[in-house]
A and B are shown apart, each in its own frame.
Chain A
Amino acid sequence: MSKPLLQVRDLVQKIGSQEILKGMNLDIYDGETLVLLGKSGGGKSVFLRHLIGLMRPVSGSILFEGEDITKLKERQLEPVRRKIGMLFQDGALFDSMNVFDNVAFPLRERGERNPAIIHQKVEESLARVNMRGHEKKMPVNLSGGMRKRVALARAIISPPNVILYDEPTAGLDPIVSDSINKLIRRLQAELRVTSVVVTHDMVSCNHIADRVALLNEGRIYFIGSTEDLHTNSDPTIRDFVDGRSGETIY
């Protein structure tokens, strides 16, 4: 395996008095798709936000290409963020712009002024996520799956080195979820990006993961392949994989 692109060391985060991450350690390798599993409210999304500098840890470090991004100021993070794309849980499309302008936004902000080039790149990006023909629609008129596709088109228009997915299949029906899973897999193959996917959807995990990590009680409890996950007999892992809560009905 290649060297780690992202190295997370002893990451601690508190929200109020609650410790969400309790010294998390994780290596993410160049070109892999790592799926981070864990209970709802367990700190998966919080962790993902640290990888792009949207949250600052209480302590610990995150090395990206050898640089500790937790030490960088907001404006110093901008070059890092140009290399990392993020798909938010509900897409986070700009609701004052139509689909075309949303996808063109990163290009325009990075100084591209030629309308022909912008048009060509937006069309290419929308074609990658099967959203051509919807350019003039406003985000409010899109379904959940379509919003995620457009947000993904926006994230990949200037191809990043890493894509972070926050619950990409949450709230979607199984068919749309499957199409999003295939899309993630296809983008990984076409763009050769490193992907970090936060989810609690086991179907999605089985479909897209090169490696799986399980976040439990603020720490990485398990890391390995999907086969290792399914054959592991640890009760905590089994409860999560088999979907058992441990609570009794009466």
Chain B
Amino acid sequence: MPLIGIFSNLYISFLSFLGQVAMLAGETILSIFCGRIRLRLVIQQIAEIGFGSQLVVIVTGAFTGAVFTAQAYFQFASLNMETAVGPVVALSMFRELGPVLTGVMVAGRVGAAMSAEIGTMKVSQQIDALRALAVNPVDYLVVPRALAMFVSMPFLVVECVGCGILASYYVGVNVLNISGVYFLANTQKFADSSDIIMALVKGFFFAGIIVFISCREGLRAKDGAVGVGRATTQTVVNCSLAILIVNFFLTMALNIIFPAG
């Protein structure tokens, strides 16, 4: 019986979490279409999310591309398939690694910061002050972050993928002596616009996951500094897990729309 109780509590908590994230997303979307957009805040957030994440995304993309190229080369070389390294890396970066790694890195950097900032405002009564001044916290805090995230994330994903492919080309051609002509020709042959669309669609979904989970955790923070710390940790864990889980279902769905090959 206690085990059933634990599982039922976990199940209820999970459904409650999903419901709260969905309600926040719904309220935000309604506010975007019906409310006042604070452009200055949106631009501030684009600077924070988009420009502030440049280094982490470039380094992640470049080194993932480089190490993946090296590993693929060591396996393919024994089969005399070195020139397949380019398309394998490019397709993996477009379809999986680029969006997922960007999502996880942005969740760690931006999601945690969002959650901590909103959580601190919550525990120090600044959100109550907003409400007392007749300003809806969703309009003021969540909408600009959501818009900025939806604008920034596709660019960050493309940047991550681009850096990964460039690093792959550099390592493959200059370090591992793969023929540059074949590398490029094969990459162009196997990668097409559907792969780019897949990366962008995933980036868009991951943007929603990060912003709504982060803001939900921040808005529900309580119990002072400990609560803010808890909210920040929960944000990174929940965003990372949600990205990995949703990625599987997106891959299955998008492969029906854009079949590989």
Contact = CB atoms under 8 A, between A and B. Distances in A.
A88 B128 contact: yes
Contacts of B124: 90, 92, 95
Nearest to A89: B125
Interface string A61-83: 00000000000001101110110
B135 A86 contact: no
A74 B140 CA distance: 14
A54 interface: yes
Nearest to B124: A92
A122 to B, nearest CB: 15
Contacts of A54: 128, 131-132
A81 B136 contact: no
Interface in B106-160: 120-121, 124-126, 128-129, 131-136
Among B120, B124, B131, B133, the most chain A Cβ lie within 10 Å of the Cβ of: B133
Nearest to B44: A96
B76 to A, nearest CB: 52
B144 to A, nearest CB: 13
A95 B126 contact: yes
Interface in A77-123: 77-79, 81-82, 84-86, 88-90, 92-95, 105-106, 109-110
B128 A109 contact: no
Given A54-B131, A81-B131, A94 B136 contact: no
A152 interface: no
A109 B120 CA distance: 22
B132 A81 contact: yes
A118 to B, nearest CB: 14
B136 A106 contact: no
A81 B132 CA distance: 6
A52 interface: yes
A109 B135 contact: yes
Contacts of B121: 94
Contact of A92 (B129, B134, B136): B129
Interface size class of B (residues with CB under 8 A): 10 to 19
Contacts of A105: 133
A167 B132 CA distance: 16
A66 B129 CA distance: 25
A178 B53 CA distance: 50
B130 to A, nearest CB: 8
Contact of B136 (A74, A79, A110, A151): A74
A82 to B, nearest CB: 5
Nearest to B35: A75
B223 to A, nearest CB: 14
A78 B134 contact: yes
Contacts of A49: 128
Contacts of A88: 125, 128-129, 132
Contact of A82 (B120, B126, B134): B134
B129 A78 contact: no
B136 A75 contact: yes
A82 B135 CA distance: 10
Nearest to A94: B126
A92 B125 contact: yes
A154 B235 CA distance: 33
Contacts of B136: 74-75, 78
Contacts of B133: 81, 105-106, 109, 154
A216 to B, nearest CB: 26
Nearest to B132: A86
B135 A92 contact: no
B181 to A, nearest CB: 54
Contacts of A82: 134
Given A74-B136, A78-B136, A92 B131 contact: no
Pick the 7 closest A-B CB pairs, nearest first: A92-B129, A81-B134, A92-B125, A78-B134, A86-B132, A82-B134, A88-B125
Interface of B: 120-121, 124-126, 128-129, 131-136
10 contacts: A49-B128, A74-B131, A86-B129, A86-B132, A90-B124, A92-B125, A94-B121, A94-B126, A94-B129, A95-B126
Given A54-B128, A77-B134, 13 more contacts: A52-B132, A74-B131, A75-B136, A79-B134, A81-B132, A85-B132, A86-B132, A92-B124, A92-B126, A92-B129, A95-B126, A109-B133, A154-B133
